[in-house]
Structure 1
Amino acid sequence: MSNQDWLNRSLQAVWHPCTQMKRHERFPLVPIASAQGAWLTDFDGKRYLDAVSSWWVNLLGHGHPRIKQALHDQLDTLEHVMLAGFTHRPVIELSERLAALSGLGHAFYGSDGASATEIALKMSFHYWKNSGKAQKSRFISLENSYHGETIGALAVTDVPLFSATYAPLIARALRVPTPDARQAAPGQSARDVALAAARALENVLAKHAGDVAALILEPLVQGAAGMAMYHPDYLREARRLCDQYQVHLIADEIAVGFGRTGTLFACEQADIRPDFLCLSKGITGGFLPLSCVLTTDNVYQAFYSEDVRAGFLHSHSYTGNPLACSAALAVLDTLRDEDILAGNRDKAARFSGILAPLAARTDVRHFRQQGMIWAFDVDTPRGDFAQAFFAAMLERGCLVRPIGNTVYYMPPYCLQDGEMRQLAEATAEALDALAREAGGAPAQPALP
Structure 2
Amino acid sequence: MAQRSRAVVWHPCTQMKDHESLPLVPIRRAEGAWLEDFEGKRYLDAVSSWWTNIFGHCHPHIVGQLKQQLDTLDHIMLGGFTHEPVVELSERLVKLAPPGLTRCFYGDNGSSAVEIALKMSFHYWQNAGKPGKQRFIALTGGYHGETLGALAVGGPSMYRDTYAPLLLQPIHVPSPDCYERGAGASWEDHTRQMFRHMELALEQHAHETCAVILEPLVQCAGGMRMYHPLYLTMLREACDRHGVHLIADEIAVGFGRTGRLFACDWAPAPRRDPDAQPGITPDFMCLSKGLTGGTLPLAVTLTRESIYEAFYAEYNAGRAFLHSHSFTGNPLGCRAALATLDLFEETRALATNHLLSQYMWAQTAEIRGHRHVAEVRQQGMILAIELAKKGRKENPFPAAERRGLRVYQHGLEKGVLLRPLGNVIYFMPPYVIEPKEIELMCKTALEGIDLATRG
* Post-superposition offset of 1:435: 3.1
The answer on whether the counterparts of 2:74 and 2:332 sit within 8 Å (CA) in structure 1 is yes
The answer on whether the counterparts of 1:111 and 1:318 sit within 8 Å (CA) in structure 2 is yes
Q: Which residue of 2 aligns with 1:178?
A: 175
Other structure's SS at 2:212 match? strand
| 2:18 matches 1:10 | no
The answer on whether the counterparts of 1:109 and 1:319 sit within 8 Å (CA) in structure 2 is yes
Equivalent AA in structure 2 for residue 189 of structure 1:
S
Other structure's SS at 1:152 match? helix
Aligned-partner Cα distance in 1 for 2:163–2:416: 34
Cα deviation code 1:295-354 (max 9, x no counterpart): 000100000010352111000110000000000000001001211101110111112111
Which of 133, 136, 145 is 2:133 aligned to?
136
Other structure's SS at 1:241 match? helix
Q: Which residue of 1 aligns with 2:421?
A: 403
Other structure's SS at 1:310 match? coil
Equivalent AA in structure 2 for residue 387 of structure 1:
L
* Post-superposition offset of 1:434: 2.3
The answer on whether the counterparts of 1:155 and 1:173 sit within 8 Å (CA) in structure 2 is yes
Which of 32, 42, 56 is 2:37 aligned to?
42
| 2:281 matches 1:284 | no
Aligned-partner Cα distance in 1 for 2:211–2:421: 28
| 2:345 matches 1:327 | no
Q: Which runs of 5+ in 2 are unaligned?
A: 268-278, 390-396
Other structure's SS at 2:137 match? strand
Normalising by structure 1, we get a TM-score of 0.95
Instruction: Write the mapping of 1:46-445 to structure 2, written as runs, cut at 5 A.
Output: 46-102=41-97, 103=99, 104-270=101-267, 271-307=279-315, 309-380=318-389, 381=397, 383-436=401-454, 438=455
* Post-superposition offset of 1:433: 2.0
Aligned-partner Cα distance in 1 for 2:410–2:388: 17
Aligned-partner Cα distance in 2 for 1:120–1:434: 41
Cα deviation code 1:95-128 (max 9, x no counterpart): 0001111121000000000000100000000000
The answer on whether the counterparts of 1:139 and 1:173 sit within 8 Å (CA) in structure 2 is yes
Equivalent AA in structure 2 for residue 405 of structure 1:
N
* Post-superposition offset of 1:288: 0.2
* Post-superposition offset of 1:139: 0.2
Aligned-partner Cα distance in 2 for 1:239–1:300: 20
* Post-superposition offset of 1:202: 0.7
The answer on whether the counterparts of 2:403 and 2:453 sit within 8 Å (CA) in structure 1 is no
Aligned-partner Cα distance in 2 for 1:373–1:353: 14
Aligned-partner Cα distance in 2 for 1:340–1:425: 25
The answer on whether the counterparts of 1:176 and 1:197 sit within 8 Å (CA) in structure 2 is no
The answer on whether the counterparts of 2:408 and 2:448 sit within 8 Å (CA) in structure 1 is no
Over the residues paired in the alignment, what is the CA RMSD in angstroms?
0.9
Aligned-partner Cα distance in 1 for 2:211–2:281: 14
The answer on whether the counterparts of 1:37 and 1:64 sit within 8 Å (CA) in structure 2 is yes
Aligned-partner Cα distance in 1 for 2:374–2:89: 41
The answer on whether the counterparts of 2:373 and 2:387 sit within 8 Å (CA) in structure 1 is yes
* Post-superposition offset of 1:7: 0.4
Cα deviation code 1:251-300 (max 9, x no counterpart): 00000000000000000111110000000000001100000000000100
Equivalent AA in structure 2 for residue 429 of structure 1:
E
Equivalent AA in structure 2 for residue 379 of structure 1:
A
Other structure's SS at 1:125 match? helix
* Post-superposition offset of 1:158: 0.9
* Post-superposition offset of 1:73: 1.0
Aligned-partner Cα distance in 2 for 1:184–1:161: 24
Other structure's SS at 2:384 match? strand
Aligned-partner Cα distance in 2 for 1:365–1:435: 13
* Post-superposition offset of 1:183: 1.2
The answer on whether the counterparts of 2:372 and 2:453 sit within 8 Å (CA) in structure 1 is no
Number of residue-to-residue matches in the alignment: 432
Normalising by structure 2, we get a TM-score of 0.94
Equivalent AA in structure 2 for residue 18 of structure 1:
C
Other structure's SS at 2:453 match? helix
Equivalent AA in structure 1 for residue 8 of structure 2:
A
Other structure's SS at 2:175 match? coil
Aligned-partner Cα distance in 2 for 1:366–1:314: 43
